[in-house]
Amino acid sequence: MLKAKEIRELGDEEIRSRIDEEEDQLRQLRFQHAIAHIENPMLLREKRKLVARLRTIKNENEARVSEE
């Protein structure tokens, strides 16, 4: 799981691609969870929080660019 500091070191395009990847994985986990029991349901929570963290830092970067 990426920490905020590690995410801030990534470029804008890398963050966008990670958001897409993580959202896809989250969607698949939700689907698996709806159909059958998944081994570690905490993965859903971790993925959701990671996507939120990625989006927050992306928005911070965009706000910083628009201020300049």
| Angstrom distance (rounded) from CA 32 to CA 53 | 23
Task: Tell whether the model's pLDDT for residue 60 goes beyond 90.
Answer: yes
Task: Tell whether the model's pLDDT for residue 68 goes beyond 80.
Answer: no
Cα dist. 67→7, 60, 61, 62, 63 in Å? Answer: 21, 11, 10, 9, 6
User: What's the whole-number mean pLDDT along residues 51-63?
Assistant: 96
Q: What is the pLDDT of residue 1?
A: 80
Q: What is the pLDDT of residue 33?
A: 94
Q: What is the mean pLDDT of the chain?
A: 94
pLDDT single digits (tens) 6-35: 999 999 999 999 999 999 999 999 999 999
Residue ranges of domains in the chain:
26-61
